[in-house]
Structure 1
Amino acid sequence: MLTWKDMETLYERLEADDCIGVYIEIKQYAQHYLKDRQECQKAVEILDQMLSVMDPCICISEWMHGSLFTLWKTISWTYIHDMIQQLDDAFPHVAFAFGICYPKAQEELSTLFYKCQLAAIKSKDHAKYTTSYELYDQLLENRLLQAVSIQEMVEKAMAKGNLRVFIQPKVDLATQTICGGEALLRLYHENQWLPLSEWMKEIQRNSFIRQTDVYVLHQLFHMFALCQKQQFPLLPISVNVSEATLENAQEYLMEVKKLTKASALSSKLLEFEISEDILSKDNQALSDFLTVLHQEGYPIAMDDFGSGSASLTTLPHLPFTSIKLDRSFFPQPANEKNNLMLQSSIRMLKQCGYGIVAEGVEDECYLPLLKEAHCDQIQGHYYYQAMPMSEYLQLLRSWV
């Protein structure tokens, strides 16, 4: 292993065409999933040995906070892929991130390192507990600059209270009364509400959404405390759990339990929604997460039912308490075939014991169909749009 100074000296003697830069990182959060915490250190030691005898490897830097930087001889992308696969197979319980870059003429080593690191952390799979790798290009850097800008905007909005939690009430179809709601994020920036399409996907990609998921929890428990103080009705609120949060579920669960315990409130007040798209992936971490929630008494809903690719055979194996029908069940205008499918789906799910929430209902024509099929709740613009917490509390006040 070389110091950075020695590596720079060696690099200066090489031509740009003689080498490539390879950044290797042991993903920090992967350590939560290791069967043996010593395995991470073992992986570091064995990785050092493997790289030192690999023919393409010219030199290796000292370890820097769980990562290292190496120079390899110029080889094909296919060969690089095979090398990474070899390392991944050697450590099935450790997830690595690789960033690769071909240097330009007279490019400094620090710049090459930056580009390799950038490629590693911006891989589309970097947030997942799997080994990931990416080749640097200029488009990648442009995307990063945009991502950094969006993340900084969201962080500032959180600090200033401009990342707001709105509540969209749910209505009990039988009694026509509010029976709960769903927490939804809204971003206020430069005197306007920004569409979700301008920022939500980016914070999902870079995993910053893990922080906003926790932020929503804190805002909700603050609202619950206000309800208790003002003696308003305490109604259950559902929150969406992102795929990135599920990749780091243990820390999220700890926060959920801590907030619930500190508030002395029933776990029944906080429902967790899992998108059908997430269920289509074979994910043991998700199954474990849902099992813990169920054991702790939290309600769990499958969100967007009918929009994704999850099989109906998935449902019996996961502890869902309710199903939220996707808005695609409620097209404009309505048609007979769709109505038959809607009613049949509700009846089948009801027979299996699930509560049913119809989401995205905007037209009165669907109410008789939903009542006939014994749908439990409606969430949609026909009754209420998403509203600031203050307006939701005013709505609850009218009940007192």
Structure 2
Amino acid sequence: METEKNITLKHDIYDTLYILEKYCDIKGSEEKYALIQLNIKNFRYFNTNYGSKAGDEILTLVFQKIMMFLEEKEYTGYLYADNFVLLLKCDDSNYLIYERLIPLIDILYRIDDERIYRNLFMSMGIYMIIDPKVTFYDALNYANLCRKESETLFNRSSCIELYEESFYKSYMDRMKLEIDTADAYKDYKFVTYLQPKVRLINGEIIGAETLLRWFDKDGNSIPLYKFLPILNQNGYIKLIDIDTFEQMCQYLDTRIKNNQKVVPISFNISKSYFYDPDIVQDYIDVFEKYNIPKEYIEIEFMESISLNDTEHLKKIVSDFKEYGFTCSLDDFGDGYSSFNVLLNARFDIIKMDRQFFLNNLNGNSNLVIKTIIDLIHSLNMKVIAEGVESEEHIECLKEYGCDMVQGYYYYKPMPIDSFNMILDS
């Protein structure tokens, strides 16, 4: 058995070649094996806090413990950065996880070094070596894929994920969707819809919200939840946001010149655009190309993206308002509500989330709705209720003095031409 003093960490290609050779050997053996890709979570912290030399020392300690953990005819190798690969004997995946890998995690977690003791967490991906046709690099890729797809990857704890075909399918579907969204943007396939906002006391349309729609080749609407996260990740949502804003500025400018009725249009600030330092100026630059009164522009901030940085939110809202735009807070009550935001961000309008109007009313829900409306009015803000679909809720909101409603009870989101027809009539 090897001792710690003669086990060293190699920083060259030979570790990978060694484990590659062993992988080829075991594929032809009768014993069953699993390939495990092991990554040290947040290893950058150790390099940053203690220096790269100390980082190498920590990697060597981990490598030593892994080597001493191996049983006969089991192998490990250092890949790169903070990644290792293991080839462990495995007849059963549950046994592998609970009797081998979890104990290994505990061994590494308790390495007797004050820099890392109880502060070292692992993420592992497992690929069961069943098909001899699968190459070493494919097996490594599958293990790494499921490791990165683990729902607990970013938790402050170690995690283990076993590769299944569903991981590959999910990943490939997402990659295809990312390519499709990029193509859709380049080919102008994203469409702007408008959903009217209605004054509750008389049913008059007094505004509209821009909503993004994307249709497949058969004309079916692709759900927003499927492609919006991709647009936020690849940055296209910023381009789409500002393109939509310019499109609607053109729309307002044209209707005003033609002496046609116009109402304020609201625009959602997307998550990835929220922290862009040029966001306010970008909107102002577009707006100033056209001859539109500023009161026809409303900027909506989703509550879920804004509460993490109240000071940043306050500054952006203040800058937009100082220029003359109306500002509103969307999704109020969707699990992120903060009175601090209400008190400090100086919104003009608060939009009550649709969750308040999903179920039939009772004494408690009536009280909550009335209290929220009264509170917002006491802060000199207007209230709009979103997602309202029933007459019961409409009558309740009328009784409690809600200012506006946006929902299927009155209008669904619609193409701009359809909106114009309603507005003109």
- TM-score (norm. length: structure 2): 0.67
2-side partners of 1:80 and 1:317: how far apart?
Answer: 47
* Aligned partner (choices 265, 271, 277) of residue 299 of structure 2: 271
Distance verdict in 2 for CA 1:12–1:237, change over 3 Å: same
* Aligned partner (choices 301, 314, 318) of residue 329 of structure 2: 301
Q: Residue in 2 aligned with 1:214? A: 238
Deviation, 1:379, is: 0.7
1-side partners of 2:107 and 2:218: how far apart?
Answer: 51
Q: Residue in 2 aligned with 1:11? A: 20
1:1-400 mapped onto 2 (5 Å cutoff): 1-4=10-13, 6-13=15-22, 15=26, 17=33, 20-23=36-39, 46-54=54-62, 55-56=65-66, 58-63=76-81, 69-72=83-86, 75-77=100-102, 79-80=104-105, 83=108, 98-102=123-127, 104=129, 108-124=135-151, 135-138=161-164, 139-173=166-200, 176-194=203-221, 196=223, 200-201=225-226, 204=229, 208=232, 211=235, 213-227=237-251, 229-232=253-256, 233=262, 235-239=264-268, 241-242=270-271, 245=272, 249-250=274-275, 253-254=276-277, 256-265=279-288, 269-275=297-303, 284=308, 286-297=309-320, 299-303=327-331, 305=333, 308-310=334-336, 315-316=341-342, 319=345, 321=347, 322-330=349-357, 338-364=365-391, 366-392=393-419, 398=424
The residue type equivalent to 1:70 in the other structure is F
Deviation, 1:358, is: 0.9
Distance verdict in 2 for CA 1:119–1:260, change over 3 Å: same
Higher mean displacement: 335-344 or 290-299: 335-344
Q: Residue in 1 aligned with 2:72? A: none
Residues 290 and 319, structure 1, Cα contact 8 Å, conserved in 2: yes
Distance verdict in 2 for CA 1:215–1:84, change over 3 Å: farther
Deviation, 1:22, is: 2.2
Residues 151 and 203, structure 1, Cα contact 8 Å, conserved in 2: no
Distance verdict in 2 for CA 1:98–1:292, change over 3 Å: farther
2-side partners of 1:203 and 1:97: how far apart?
Answer: 31
2-side partners of 1:73 and 1:267: how far apart?
Answer: 66
Distance verdict in 2 for CA 1:81–1:238, change over 3 Å: farther
1-side partners of 2:191 and 2:115: how far apart?
Answer: 46
The residue type equivalent to 1:272 in the other structure is E
Deviation, 1:168, is: 1.0
Distance verdict in 2 for CA 1:256–1:136, change over 3 Å: farther
Instruction: Give CA deviations for 1:251-302 in whole Å, capped at 9, x if unaligned.
Output: xx236235214214569934233256x78xxx74x43542342342362414
Deviation, 1:118, is: 1.4
1-side partners of 2:103 and 2:420: how far apart?
Answer: 59
2-side partners of 1:184 and 1:43: how far apart?
Answer: 49
- C-alpha RMSD of matched pairs (Å): 4.4
Deviation, 1:130, is: 7.5
Deviation, 1:223, is: 1.8
Residues 206 and 263, structure 2, Cα contact 8 Å, conserved in 1: no
Deviation, 1:18, is: 8.3
Residues 303 and 336, structure 2, Cα contact 8 Å, conserved in 1: no
Distance verdict in 2 for CA 1:132–1:224, change over 3 Å: farther
The residue type equivalent to 1:225 in the other structure is C
2-side partners of 1:108 and 1:358: how far apart?
Answer: 57
2-side partners of 1:269 and 1:129: how far apart?
Answer: 41
Deviation, 1:344, is: 3.2
The residue type equivalent to 2:66 in the other structure is P
Deviation, 1:237, is: 0.9
Distance verdict in 2 for CA 1:164–1:72, change over 3 Å: same
2-side partners of 1:114 and 1:256: how far apart?
Answer: 39
The residue type equivalent to 1:376 in the other structure is D
2-side partners of 1:118 and 1:152: how far apart?
Answer: 19
- Residues paired across the two proteins, number: 363
The residue type equivalent to 1:274 in the other structure is M
Deviation, 1:375, is: 1.6
Q: Which runs of 5+ in 1 are unaligned?
A: none
Larger radius of gyration: 2
- TM-score (norm. length: structure 1): 0.70
Distance verdict in 2 for CA 1:97–1:78, change over 3 Å: closer
Q: Which runs of 5+ in 2 are unaligned?
A: 1-9, 27-31, 68-75, 89-99, 257-261, 289-293, 322-326
Task: Give the secondary structure class of the aligned counterpart of 2:169.
Answer: helix
Deviation, 1:135, is: 1.9
Task: Give the secondary structure class of the aligned counterpart of 2:210.
Answer: strand
Instruction: Give CA deviations for 1:150-175 in whole Å, capped at 9, x if unaligned.
Output: 44444443333333232212123357
The residue type equivalent to 2:299 in the other structure is E
Percent identity between matched residues is: 16
